[in-house]
Structure 1
Amino acid sequence: MNIFVDNERKEFFMNLVQLQYLAVLAQTENYTQAAEILNITQPTLSYAIKTLETQIDATLFEKVGRNVKLTERGKIFVKESNKALEILNQAVEKIHHLDQENNSIRITSLRTLGSSFLPKLLREFLDEVHDQEINFEFAPTPGFSQAMIEGLRQEKYDICFCSKVDDQDDIIYYPILEQKLYLITPKDHPLANRKSINLQDTFAYPHITYANNTGLANELNHLYNLCGQHPESSYSVSEDVEVAGLVAAGFGIGIVPQLDNLDDLELKKIPIAYPQWHRFLYMAILREHYQSPAAQSFIAYVKKKCLIC
């Protein structure tokens, strides 16, 4: 930083280094100690302070034995110049933070994507772009799609991987993954030996259903409407894994997408023959949200790699 001063048509410049030297000397009140802290020679420090005093036409220090102390003018100047240094340091921090933001991508996703699909996608993207500076920030997942989209609208995230929850124009949904839906039952359930299932045959039994604020609840309502009726709900939960856990414990039957740990649970997984329905998952972004260069690059990669036309 250079500060330009015009005093009776005499021009000079004060630089940031001089102010930094001044701040250290004002604290130590000793040229030798200040020079050691600044990792410069004492003559260099002396010259910088003398030049500064000449530029502002004021004596900043007076000698006290082997030390120095600030003059009254020096106290005033140091106090105000330290304020300037603090403002400048904050400006530098903001610039550095902006640089970090330009390389950061804030994402959140459904938990069902977190164990396999998403980590693999991120690894493949980083291997292709060869940019070690890109940083993915994993926001704590709110668990279900509606909350993710609300967070996206509040600009808490850059990208969400979730279900489609509405048709408002401010959100762009890119379909990136198709999942089949399965009926799951306890292993000793009357339907457990079926090779496939007509959903109408399941309504005689209580279901573990999804809470109304989840994306999958909306999709299942379409299936139930096609069948002309809705199941009796024994429990309503928000997570796929909660449905699977309750079914395995014998609290009812349920409909879930493919989950990584389904085969480890005490339950049977049965393809749904009617109505045929596939669940789509999406990459969701806010239409008017600023995307960093790193985020733009990742969005383009996902659209190229995963977009379902």
Structure 2
Amino acid sequence: MEIRHLQYIAEIVRCNSFTKAAEALHITQPTISKMIKNLENELNFEVFDRDGKPIKLTAAGKAIYDYAVPILELFDNLQTEINDLTYLKKGSIRIGLPPMAGSSFFPSVLKSFQDRYPGIAIKLAEDGAKKVEEQVAEGALDVGVVLWPVDETLFESFQLVSDRLKVLLHPSHPLAASKQITLNELANERFILFNSDFALHDRIINECQAIGFDPHIVYESSQWDFIGEMVAENLGIAMLPERICALLDSAKVSTVPLVQPVIPWRLAMVWKRTGYLSLATREWIAFNKERFASQ
């Protein structure tokens, strides 16, 4: 058994697919299948139950996977620390960014960081804050931007920005000219939300349920600009942070402050409390602390 066998098994479980795991590892699907089959022949038992879908680990495969996760984390930490000792200011950082954070202020942050540290490579993963948080916890990302508050038993963190949600409506909507809107006034509306990978999805539903109604969700998306376009077509109402609303075409959508309750949108940068942080990642964290402290 080799370390790459553990890497392949872990990736197949993460992707729940031999094909997607092969793509993520930049190898062919026959190659990964052959490697797993060779391992099974060596061990004289099957790692994966191939009788049905989704793919499942056998009892023996589950035992290997349970050991593989911490072994791979230690191996990755070892490689990173050796890289730091050898190359100092070089290396790479895996950063998770929600689409709204990426579009509103991180392009300039990334440019300034690369100007200061041209030897550090940045690998971006754009996903909802909820998904980013999961990937940081799993060690698939070094650091990520998520919605505040965070689980302080799992993560170190600091707050980046503080904002609040506004309501997006078609200009012809009866509430479009209001100075402010209460959540209760939206009880009978058609809601357009981010999908379940986004923390705002659950936050908005929970806030609606707290005052006594379940929102009627007609569309879900992973793109804030597409959500804005759907509102512009009068397909429903939506809620987005104030700074994102400022990027929308005011001729197509109206944005009104939400009150009773005010729903905050606070972003934080998080990284795992345990495990080795590469020098490149530590530089990124320090750079952003300095950058956002001045805002």
Considering the TM-score relative to the shorter chain, is it more than 0.5? yes
1:195-218 superposed Cα distances (whole Å, 9 cap, x missing partner)? 211121111221113333421123
Question: Is the 2:84–2:279 contact (alpha carbons within 8 Å) kept by the matching residues of 1?
Answer: no
- Structure 1 residue 305 and structure 2 residue 294: aligned? no
Q: In structure 2, do the counterparts of structure 1 residues 228 and 307 end up closer, same or farther at CA, with 3 Å as the change threshold?
A: farther
Task: Provide the residue aligned with 2:15 in structure 1.
Answer: none
Task: Provide the residue aligned with 1:219 in structure 2.
Answer: 203
Question: Is the 1:246–1:252 contact (alpha carbons within 8 Å) kept by the matching residues of 2?
Answer: yes
Residue 107 of structure 2, aligned match among 96, 116, 119: 119
Alpha-carbon distance, 1:144 to partner: 0.9
Task: Provide the residue aligned with 1:283 in structure 2.
Answer: 269
Q: Provide the secondary structure at the position in 2 that maps to 1:218.
A: helix
Alpha-carbon distance, 1:306 to partner: 2.2
- Structure 1 residue 139 and structure 2 residue 124: aligned? yes
Q: Provide the secondary structure at the position in 2 that maps to 1:176.
A: strand
Task: Provide the residue aligned with 1:187 in structure 2.
Answer: 171
Task: Provide the residue aligned with 1:198 in structure 2.
Answer: 182
What residue identity is the alignment partner of 1:274?
A: Q
Which protein shows a greater Rg? 1
Task: Provide the residue aligned with 1:293 in structure 2.
Answer: 279
What residue identity is the alignment partner of 1:150?
A: E
Q: How many residues align?
A: 212
What residue identity is the alignment partner of 2:97?
A: S
- Structure 1 residue 245 and structure 2 residue 229: aligned? yes
1:37-89 superposed Cα distances (whole Å, 9 cap, x missing partner)? xxxxxxxxxxxxxxxxxxxxxxxxxxxxxxxxxxxxxxxxxxxxxxxxxxxxx
Q: Provide the secondary structure at the position in 2 that maps to 1:234.
A: strand
1:117-146 superposed Cα distances (whole Å, 9 cap, x missing partner)? 11222344456xx4432x2413232x2122
1:179-238 superposed Cα distances (whole Å, 9 cap, x missing partner)? 221100111112111121112111122111333342112322343244332322222334
Task: Provide the residue aligned with 2:239 in structure 1.
Answer: 255
Alpha-carbon distance, 1:101 to partner: 8.2
**Unaligned regions of 5+ residues in structure 1, if any?**
1-93
Task: Provide the residue aligned with 1:9 in structure 2.
Answer: none
Q: Provide the secondary structure at the position in 2 that maps to 1:153.
A: helix
Distance 1:171 1:110 in 2: 18
User: What percentage of residue pairs aligned between the two structures are identical?
Assistant: 22
Alpha-carbon distance, 1:284 to partner: 1.4
Alpha-carbon distance, 1:154 to partner: 3.2
Question: Is the 1:145–1:164 contact (alpha carbons within 8 Å) kept by the matching residues of 2?
Answer: no
Q: Provide the secondary structure at the position in 2 that maps to 1:262.
A: coil
TM-score normalized by structure 1? 0.59
**Unaligned regions of 5+ residues in structure 2, if any?**
1-81
What residue identity is the alignment partner of 1:119?
A: P
Distance 1:268 1:136 in 2: 40
Distance 2:86 2:99 in 1: 30
Q: In structure 2, do the counterparts of structure 1 residues 263 and 100 end up closer, same or farther at CA, with 3 Å as the change threshold?
A: farther
Residue 229 of structure 1, aligned match among 202, 213, 228: 213
Distance 1:270 1:296 in 2: 40
Question: Is the 1:105–1:136 contact (alpha carbons within 8 Å) kept by the matching residues of 2?
Answer: yes
Question: Which has the higher mean CA deviation after the structures are superposed, 118-127 or 254-263?
Answer: 118-127
Distance 1:167 1:191 in 2: 37
Q: Provide the secondary structure at the position in 2 that maps to 1:174.
A: strand
Q: Provide the secondary structure at the position in 2 that maps to 1:272.
A: strand
Distance 1:199 1:206 in 2: 13
Distance 1:237 1:265 in 2: 22
Distance 1:228 1:189 in 2: 23
Q: In structure 2, do the counterparts of structure 1 residues 176 and 307 end up closer, same or farther at CA, with 3 Å as the change threshold?
A: farther
Q: In structure 2, do the counterparts of structure 1 residues 254 and 116 end up closer, same or farther at CA, with 3 Å as the change threshold?
A: closer
Question: Is the 1:174–1:307 contact (alpha carbons within 8 Å) kept by the matching residues of 2?
Answer: no
Task: Provide the residue aligned with 1:108 in structure 2.
Answer: 96
Q: In structure 2, do the counterparts of structure 1 residues 98 and 165 end up closer, same or farther at CA, with 3 Å as the change threshold?
A: farther
Task: Provide the residue aligned with 2:133 in structure 1.
Answer: 149
Distance 1:157 1:125 in 2: 18
Q: In structure 2, do the counterparts of structure 1 residues 205 and 125 end up closer, same or farther at CA, with 3 Å as the change threshold?
A: same
